[in-house]
Structure 1
Amino acid sequence: MAIVKVACVVVMACMVVVALAPFHAEAAITCNQVRGSLAPCINYLRNGGAVPGNCCNGVRSLSNMAKTTPDRQNACRCLQSAAASMPGIKPILAAGLPGKCSVNIPYKISPSTECSKVN
């Protein structure tokens, strides 16, 4: 009888974990979305000059997509990964891009940003 009670408790605990799984905070934003949003910015990030309007639209879109902490952390990681894989990106231009587009991003766009600490 005690074994049956233990088994029932284990089964109930598993059911609770499965039921709560969809509520676990996972990032919904993908690196493909981040790259796609900022693709119009590549020339600016390499060469400077005027920020294209479609670049700022992408920055705004990215900011609107990244509303939760996991999304912002993932976007941060994706930005760092994308910048590292594209030669010629100037970190100073990347860091200043949100301001140039009048978009408030709650962390510095930089290779040194600790994305796990982004809120």
Structure 2
Amino acid sequence: MKGVVIAMVVLAIIQLMVEPGWAISCGQVDGYLAPCLPHLIGGSGIPAPTCCDGVKNIKGMASTTTDKRTASNYVKQAANRYSNLKDDAAQSLDAKCGVQMDIPVSRTTNCDM
């Protein structure tokens, strides 16, 4: 079973390398932000390393203006799913992860950059 999981991860990585123009999906953004939920809801402390890795991945995927708009809309949708999301924790997430994002994590993000 462990070998199957490793093989699937390797295939996914290869597919990303082969298709660099691949569009950003809502599922990808959700997956990258999922480890951030404890921090975004609790609002204190330092985000988990897996959360910061996700933030960095989102930044890396959103290189063009179109990608940034798309990612921004998905981040906004993700933020709006959680009524108990702490806005101050969300807005400081990139800084706490040491990443300068053009895509703020917020329910009120203006996605028309």
**2:109 aligned residue:** 113
**Count of paired positions:** 92
Q: Relative to 1, partners in 2 of residues 1:99 and 1:27: Cα closer, same or farther, differing over 3 Å?
A: same
The answer for the alignment partner of 1:35 in structure 2 is: 30
In the alignment, residue 90 of structure 1 is paired with which amino acid?
Answer: K
Tell me how far apart the structure 2 counterparts of residues 27 and 72 of structure 1 sit (CA, whole Å): 13
Quote the Cα distance in structure 1 between the aligned partners of 2:35 and 2:86: 15
1:1-80 equivalent positions in 2, closer than 5 A: 28-48=23-43, 49-80=45-76
Q: State the distance in 2 between where 1:52 and 1:97 align.
A: 11
Work out the percentage of aligned pairs sharing the same amino acid: 37
Deviations 1:29-80, CA, capped at 9 Å, x for gaps: 0111100011100010000222111110110011101111111111111111
**Structural RMSD (CA):** 1.8
Q: Which residue among 82, 87, 93 is the counterpart of 1:91? A: 87
Q: Give the distance between the partners of 1:50 and 1:108, measured in 2 at CA.
A: 17
Which one-letter code corresponds to 2:39 in the other structure?
Answer: Y
TM-score normalized by the length of structure 1: 0.70
Counterpart CA distance in 1 for 2:61 and 2:35 is 17
Aligned-partner Cα distance in 2 for 1:78–1:54: 19
Q: Distance in 1 between matches of 2:29 and 2:107?
A: 16
Larger radius of gyration: 1
Q: Which runs of 5+ in 1 are unaligned?
A: 1-25
Aligned with 2:97 (options 101, 110, 115) = 101
